[in-house]
Chain A
């Protein structure tokens, strides 16, 4: 652990002029700075997306409410979904991957640092382009309007005749641009992991986070491209009069759905697999045991990656495919639940026989486990095609996927924030505020998303700006909206904690958690070159080997 004191050029950042420091950040190709920029960018959009959700929930708090017009509501759900998936979840995962992967594999940077920067700025520009639609959507004259076609933009609603003006084009182009950035980052992650591992770190010895980012990046390469292709086709339809999705010319609305969901389903694994990665790093450290069944975890993740390409039409059970197709997608969807379930058991197996410390990162990971279990089970319910014929396109589905994205992914992300914040900033966060965040957000999450399943079961479809009283939905919608208050409070505490700790938190050591992977062997924050000398490793937990020379991992692996 001697490298912590070897900082070749210790410079005091706070004395440099602000202009110089900003210039550094804007022109940087350093994976750590880019990672942080991705994360901050995503946090800003998290708040914006949250406001969009809040607007919707206020409109739905009572039936026949008049808080916003249907036009505005329809833009809200479109922008909320698009923002959260493309400009919150993806950038934040790329941000953490960017920051952590080189450090954890003992490299100095990503394989292509300039591509890294280019990909970030492209992705960022895509988000700005999408949001410009609020003022520019109607072709710069008249009031602007954001897209209102839903985040999956089904044809033919997106055709020129139904979607007048440019709002849909902002959706298409914003995502096209940021999609290209995503492909760049994914190629970078793959090349980094395959080509820059430090000596001794075979694929079987690299941290699970690296494995999972590898699978995630491979999914991005193969899954974002279908969306890009479909968006090119849509633009050709809208601008050159092509007929890809033009039902009047014999085109097919269903083929858009196929293309979109061939992207859309692997996409959710792109989002959740890094969450698995965080849990797989945090749970062992706070249980004081290695991950249970490392090879099985790798195999399960790779299997999930492959199988995720065979399930897409479970989003289309209601479009009238024949019984054989529906049966196929039922079984493929159930099958993908098996390796996923195995991972839950492995995490519990990691905790079994350990010494569990309930610090904030671990609290969030436990929340992740519990909620991911429920999300997986409601997913199995939806896999049963006939049940989906009732539940599909209803609030049950909305509840299910928010359970995955908020209950599992966001909780694991919060865990990752608290776990690696000390490394990234050199300061320790406030544990009490962290716990306040956890409990407030947990209560709010469950108030909103537990009860959201019920209106779905009682026949409430999604994407409606208001609903009829007397259908049994009123009370549940009220409770769901109340939960938003607690979640908002939790987020405020979180942001406050981050800011306060960054500015005034106590300085922390290189290894505040007594952890075992390479990022904890360098200073907090790491110097720009990461490691004074490239480490050489012999096991999956190099720092365990150093701390326990009498009982190193490489004797048992």
Chain B
């Protein structure tokens, strides 16, 4: 075979492929850089490569393993492709004869069949272990039990043994690896499919009507972890956000104590309370210790203990709360909260009442 001089343009074509590969490398570098900078103090970005809980840890490790294997395969094949393009490019002074017509090679075919099968075998064994360790984990007696019910477009959280009902913001105790206190969550749905995903704590698991699923987390770092619904569930799927508050045990217990109390009654805001209890509010919402016992919307008994409203779509301020009641479409167009047609005066009184629900 005649020797080929490397032509400038051959390099350009070869570089074209390399540039794309380098683009990928740059992306990877930027990603790594962004991973090194921690986010704001609270809450942390949902980065699966900074796991803070055992299931997320296990997933992180197998992910790195498969990323490395993929990286090696990519590097080998990529450079093979570049080599072929550069070395076997038709040169400018080509004589026009056809190169040797090679039809195949059984040995080569065997080699590049057996090798991938071995890789698959190894990868599968490693993966099966992780699947089993996460899915078949036994629930220890000290575990906190939560029932999560997905709604369009908010999360209902019940702690049956602790007598707590809340919405959208999940509080759990931090789990000490020496004496683990994980939280096991039963996942149900009241309407259509949803998915519970807080990347730093665990992989996602779906909430499917007429089906009970289970997931668990045992976070070992205090903090606020964000996530959101990860299965398209309708118009406001995008704003069905999730927050998980991982707290030291005593703080968690205090929260449980507060949440399991009924609503405080105060005469000062009786006008707002009267409006609440005589309007359609009670068809959807519950406030324990009052006549309001609706289940369609979030429980409002301790509304003010939450930092956000509308499943994370807005922060829990008086202005936002007033706006949400008056015109939900301004915050979350397409949500199932109806616009309550109240006078300004009634709206103010109602908001003031709700502000007392600590």
The reply, when asked whether chain A contacts chain B directly with Cβ atoms under 8 A, is: yes
For B127, list chain A residues within 8 Å (CB).
327, 330, 384-386
Q: How far is the CB of B184 from chain A (nearest CB, A)?
A: 14
For A337, list chain B residues within 8 Å (CB).
116, 120
Contact A381 B66 (CB under 8 A): yes
Complex Cα distance, B13 from A157, in Å, reads: 48
Contact A381 B20 (CB under 8 A): no
> B338 near A: Cβ within 8 Å?
no
For B100, list chain A residues within 8 Å (CB).
289, 353
For A377, list chain B residues within 8 Å (CB).
70, 73-74
Contact A471 B226 (CB under 8 A): yes
Contact bitstring B288-306, A, C-beta under 8 A = 1, else 0: 0000000000000000000
Contact B99 A289 (CB under 8 A): yes
Complex Cα distance, B62 from A381, in Å, reads: 10
- Measured as residues with beta carbon below 8 angstroms from the partner, the interface class of chain A is 35 or more
Within 8 A of A (CB), among B23-71: 23-24, 27, 30-31, 34, 39-40, 45-49, 56, 58-59, 62-63, 66-67, 70
Residue A70 contacts which of B48, B210, B235 (CB distance < 8 angstroms)? B235
Complex Cα distance, B83 from A348, in Å, reads: 10
> A218 near B: Cβ within 8 Å?
no
Residue A253 contacts which of B24, B211, B241 (CB distance < 8 angstroms)? B211
Contact B102 A292 (CB under 8 A): yes
Contact A252 B58 (CB under 8 A): no
Within 8 A of A (CB), among B100-137: 100-105, 108-109, 112-113, 116-117, 120, 123-124, 127-128, 130-132, 134-136
Complex Cα distance, B103 from A69, in Å, reads: 57
Q: How far is the CB of A311 from chain B (nearest CB, A)?
A: 13
Contact B45 A472 (CB under 8 A): yes
Contact bitstring A327-362, B, C-beta under 8 A = 1, else 0: 100110011011001101110110111111110000
Contact B210 A369 (CB under 8 A): no
> A366 near B: Cβ within 8 Å?
yes
For A292, list chain B residues within 8 Å (CB).
102-105
Q: How far is the CB of B12 from chain A (nearest CB, A)?
A: 10
Complex Cα distance, B213 from A380, in Å, reads: 26
Q: Which of B197-205, B258-266, B343-351 lines the interface with chain A? A: B197-205
Q: Which of B85-93, B142-150, B174-182, B276-284 lines the interface with chain A? A: B85-93
Contact B124 A330 (CB under 8 A): yes
Contact A293 B40 (CB under 8 A): no
Complex Cα distance, B119 from A335, in Å, reads: 10
For A352, list chain B residues within 8 Å (CB).
84, 88
Q: How far is the CB of B8 from chain A (nearest CB, A)?
A: 13
For B102, list chain A residues within 8 Å (CB).
289-290, 292, 353
Complex Cα distance, B98 from A551, in Å, reads: 11
Complex Cα distance, B194 from A162, in Å, reads: 14
Residue B13 contacts which of A358, A369, A468, A553 (CB distance < 8 angstroms)? A358
> A287 near B: Cβ within 8 Å?
yes
> A11 near B: Cβ within 8 Å?
no
Contact B228 A461 (CB under 8 A): yes
Q: How far is the CB of A151 from chain B (nearest CB, A)?
A: 10
Q: Which of A93-101, A122-130, A179-187, A451-459 lines the interface with chain B? A: A451-459
For A251, list chain B residues within 8 Å (CB).
210
Answer whether A69 and B333 are a contact pair too, CB < 8 Å, given A157-B233, A461-B230, A463-B237: yes
Q: How far is the CB of A153 from chain B (nearest CB, A)?
A: 10
For B205, list chain A residues within 8 Å (CB).
318, 320, 389
**Central interface residue in B78, B99, B214, by most chain A CB within 10 Å:** B99
Contact B62 A387 (CB under 8 A): yes
Answer whether A355 and B94 are a contact pair too, CB < 8 Å, given A386-B130, A472-B39: yes
> A250 near B: Cβ within 8 Å?
yes
Contact B89 A464 (CB under 8 A): no
Contact B70 A338 (CB under 8 A): no
Contact A472 B34 (CB under 8 A): yes
> B192 near A: Cβ within 8 Å?
yes
Contact bitstring A470-486, B, C-beta under 8 A = 1, else 0: 11100000000000000
Complex Cα distance, B127 from A323, in Å, reads: 11
Contact B192 A318 (CB under 8 A): no
Complex Cα distance, B229 from A156, in Å, reads: 16
> B80 near A: Cβ within 8 Å?
yes
Contact A330 B23 (CB under 8 A): no
Contact A390 B199 (CB under 8 A): yes
**Central interface residue in B1, B30, B131, B191, by most chain A CB within 10 Å:** B131
> A154 near B: Cβ within 8 Å?
yes
Contact B204 A71 (CB under 8 A): no
For A390, list chain B residues within 8 Å (CB).
48, 56, 59, 63, 199, 203-204
Residue B192 contacts which of A162, A288, A551 (CB distance < 8 angstroms)? A162
Residue A386 contacts which of B85, B131, B333 (CB distance < 8 angstroms)? B131
Within 8 A of A (CB), among B206-224: 206, 208-211, 213-214
Residue A348 contacts which of B81, B130, B204 (CB distance < 8 angstroms)? B81
**Central interface residue in A148, A459, A467, by most chain B CB within 10 Å:** A459
> A466 near B: Cβ within 8 Å?
yes
> A141 near B: Cβ within 8 Å?
no
Contact A392 B24 (CB under 8 A): no
Give 9 A-B pairs besides A150-B232, A288-B99 with Cβ atoms closer than 8 angstroms.
A157-B193, A253-B209, A318-B195, A377-B70, A384-B63, A388-B203, A393-B230, A442-B16, A471-B226
23 contacts between A and B (CB under 8 A): A69-B334, A70-B236, A70-B238, A156-B193, A289-B102, A292-B103, A318-B195, A323-B132, A330-B131, A334-B124, A338-B116, A344-B77, A345-B77, A351-B84, A352-B88, A356-B88, A385-B131, A386-B58, A393-B195, A446-B20, A446-B23, A459-B47, A551-B101
Q: Interface on A for B, CB 8 Å cutoff?
A: 69-71, 74, 148, 150, 154, 156-157, 162, 247-248, 250-254, 287-290, 292-296, 318-320, 322-323, 326-327, 330-331, 334-335, 337-338, 341-342, 344-346, 348-349, 351-358, 363, 366, 369-370, 373-374, 377-378, 380-381, 384-390, 392-394, 439, 442, 446-447, 450-451, 453-454, 457-459, 461-468, 470-472, 548, 551, 553, 556-557
Which 4 pairs between the two chains have the least Cβ-Cβ distance? A389-B203, A459-B46, A464-B238, A320-B213
